[in-house]
Copies of this chain bind each other. A is one copy, B any other.
Amino acid sequence: MVTIVDIAKLAKTSKSTVSRCLNGGIVGAATRKAIEAAIRKLDYHPNINARRLVSSKTRIIGIVLDDISNVYYSQILCGVQGVAAEAGYVCTFYSRASGQKSETDYLKLFQGGEVDGLILGTFQVRNEQSIAQLATDGHPIVLIGDSGGNSNIDSVDVDNRQGTIDEVRHLHELGHRAIAYLKGPRAISSSKSRLDGYLHGMQLYGLKPGVVLEEEWTIEGGERAVRSLLARKERFTALMCSNEHNSFGAIKALRNAGLRVPDDISVVTFDDGVLAQHTEPSITTVRQPFRAIGGTAARQLLSIIEEATSARTSILIHPTVITRASSGRAKAGARKAVRR
């Protein structure tokens, strides 16, 4: 292996000068030239581990995600990696899908000097104790998702509440008054914020909240929900879902029950993916900018690392409603159809 000493020898100077040269210090023009020539000639590359050891900085940021095979998560990773790379950082990636560790377990990466910062991207509800532990740890950490209201930690999240309120407005503008809601799993942190948005939105527009059902975020969950909704024989002209697969299943079940979407019932949802975009009818939804979430988290982390910022910040990213074919004007006919 060719080291700094070899370069020094060949350039007839000392290794400290070479080091200085490498790090942009003040070096005489002639010396610099000689050093650069030597570097090229010997094809020298600085040993990154020696640097890390002596500087106690790794230029590595770690990111832990629940399950990266999930389309949404992979976008986050993409965003993080892009920003990190631009800043000369490298990403190491940990998935929790394999080992079911808790997020706090990853704090050991700091103790071993393995990373300069950590992005924790769980969409599960976090327990307060874990958050507190992360907050007091003192190392650069950014949370994506639920921060449990703890203001001592940096976090980035989507404004699930506002996104849902925007969707209520959309339905309200289309003349819908009776809107049912399909809530997601308790374990997922955004379920609650979205429900909040629904309840708040309904109130905001002077509407009485409709039936609220809870189901898992699968196609089957959506189907089940609609079946039980229809069985209740309560009037509704629109159904708000909180997840793409859910709404796809819901639409399926509505059609099976002889209802047309959006003619009889409008359906809107959350998350924009292949299903929402390309199935028939295309689904009105709230798009979360996952890549931007990752990028934002990365920038936030880098600023903590490099500027040792002391102020904690919580960033809420606003999602946007994408209007598609599954939502339409509420019609008298539609109401009747559902009343059966």
Residues of chain A whose beta carbon lies under 8 Å from any beta carbon of chain B: 1, 43, 45-50, 52-53, 56, 58, 60, 67-71, 73-75, 77-78, 81-82, 85-86, 90-95, 97-99, 108, 111-114, 219, 248, 273-275, 278-280, 291
| Chain B, Cβ-Cβ closest to A279 | B279
Interface pair B74/A112, CB less than 8 Å apart:
no
Interface pair B92/A78, CB less than 8 Å apart:
no
Taken together as a complex, chains A and B put the C-alpha atoms of A99 and B83 apart, in Å, by 11
Interface pair A45/B91, CB less than 8 Å apart:
no
A92 surroundings in chain B (CB, below 8 A)? 60, 90-93
What are 29 residue pairs bridging A and B, where the CB atoms are less than 8 Å apart in the complex? A45-B112, A46-B112, A47-B53, A47-B113, A48-B113, A49-B49, A49-B56, A52-B52, A67-B78, A68-B74, A68-B78, A68-B81, A69-B75, A69-B291, A71-B74, A74-B74, A77-B77, A78-B97, A81-B94, A81-B95, A82-B97, A85-B98, A86-B98, A90-B92, A90-B94, A92-B92, A273-B274, A279-B280, A280-B280
Closest 5 pairs (CB-CB, A-B): A74-B74, A45-B111, A49-B52, A49-B53, A274-B274
A53 surroundings in chain B (CB, below 8 A)? 47, 49-50, 52-53
Q: Which of B49, B68, B74, B278 contacts A58 (CB 8 A)?
A: B49
A60 surroundings in chain B (CB, below 8 A)? 92
| Chain B, Cβ-Cβ closest to A77 | B68
Taken together as a complex, chains A and B put the C-alpha atoms of A113 and B50 apart, in Å, by 9
Taken together as a complex, chains A and B put the C-alpha atoms of A290 and B124 apart, in Å, by 26
A81 surroundings in chain B (CB, below 8 A)? 68, 93-95, 98
Taken together as a complex, chains A and B put the C-alpha atoms of A135 and B195 apart, in Å, by 55
7 new A-B contacts, CB < 8 A, other than A69-B74, A275-B278, A278-B279, are A48-B113, A49-B53, A71-B74, A77-B77, A78-B97, A81-B98, A92-B92
